[in-house]
Amino acid sequence: MTDEPALMSLAHGGGCGCKIAPGVLSELLAKMPGLPVPPDLLIGTASSDDAAVYRLNDSQALVATTDFFMPVVNDPYDFGRIAATNALSDVYAMGGRPILALALLGMPIAKLSTNTIGRILEGGAAACAAAGIPVAGGHSIDSVEPIYGLVALGLVHPDRVRANTGARPGDLLILGKPLGTGVMSAALKKGLLDAGGYARMIDTTTRLNTPGPDLAVLDGVHALTDVTGFGLAGHALELARGAGCRAVLDWGAVPVMDGVRALLAAGCATGASGRNWQSYGTSVLLPDGFAEDDRALLTDPQTSGGLLVSTAPDTAEAVLEIFARHGFEAARRIGRIEAADGAAPGVALT
């Protein structure tokens, strides 16, 4: 096939920025009919968690999730790696270890060559191989826009499931990866991302969140989630609401990838960051004079973002040591959990 279009040109959005806005998603889920919930379904739709968890026996629970999106980069192999890494992250975020994956593929067959599509699948398989699991099957369709992702399955001990509802007042918040992937993807689409920036983006988005199972073994780790399409503020808000508490973020401590602030100044904020703010901004308290670019970064959709950990203070150093052992040098303490004291759960920045 000659004159093949760039992947990103075929999609109206990319990566986790394609997610339906949180407010709209809440409306859609509210209209779902009530269904029987078996006692072995430990985590379902009630808590907006990262994956479903079903108890198989006294020592094993199945973690089941799916994630797919449109291209966040133009290189097909990198797109496949990023999408697969992002999908597997939800298993790690529950404290589980992946066991197998199924591929989900939708491609505009008339516009993309079989070689390009094959490279996407190769990239996804490479990410699964890095996680030590097979791609055991899947499903494909001819679609208008290119879409790729996985159904990911994993196992976890039922007593070691780490939901996004377990945060406690007094906990510290630790973030495993720096922010900025949404901004970098927007810059790439505009032709403003240099080779160094692209390398940093690929490094973070293809880094498997392998600390998850080791973190879940720590009794002091009370809640886990991963920061993806709703941005740091949105996923911190989910932790706060799940626990009926307030998440207080120390904005100056939040890690940000090199070059991202300059890209924001150049106009590379994503449309999804604005949609995120419209959905949940009334639950986020910003300091006076908080810059517009900072707000865009706070709500920037993270594709294959980092784990957000709510941990007892005396376990915080062990959490950081686990991140370091897995190669997450950017992991930082970024805030704390406080009692809501009668107010609605929310997020506050200092």
Residue 315 CB neighbour total at 10 angstroms: 19
Nearest one of 247, 100, 108, 229 to 168, comparing CA atoms: 247
User: Which tokens in the block code for residue 273?
Assistant: 């960051």
- Known binding residue 19? Answer is yes
Q: Is 173 helix (H, G, I), strand (E, B) or coil?
A: strand
CB neighbour list of residue 307: distance below 8 Å, 6 or more residues apart: 89, 92, 93, 175, 176, 177, 209, 211, 212, 215, 224, 225, 226, 227
d(CA 272, CA 149): 20
In the residue annotation, 16 being an active-site residue is answered as yes
- Known binding residue 49? Answer is yes
- Known binding residue 185? Answer is no
- Known binding residue 194? Answer is no
Burial of 308 (0-12, 13-18, 19+ CB in 10 A): buried
- Known binding residue 78? Answer is no
- Known binding residue 314? Answer is no
Nearest one of 93, 254, 251, 247 to 171, comparing CA atoms: 247
- Known binding residue 118? Answer is no
- Known binding residue 58? Answer is no
- Known binding residue 3? Answer is no
Catalytic-role residue among 16, 18, 128, 268: 16
In terms of DSSP H, where are the helices of 63-163? 76-93, 114-130
Q: Which residue has the tokens 């990410």?
A: 127
Binding residues: 19, 47-50, 67, 90, 138-140, 226
User: Which residue ranges make up the annotated binding site for Mg(2+)?
Assistant: 50, 90, 226
Annotated binding-site residues for ATP read 19, 47-49, 67, 90, 138-140
Catalytic annotation, residues: 16
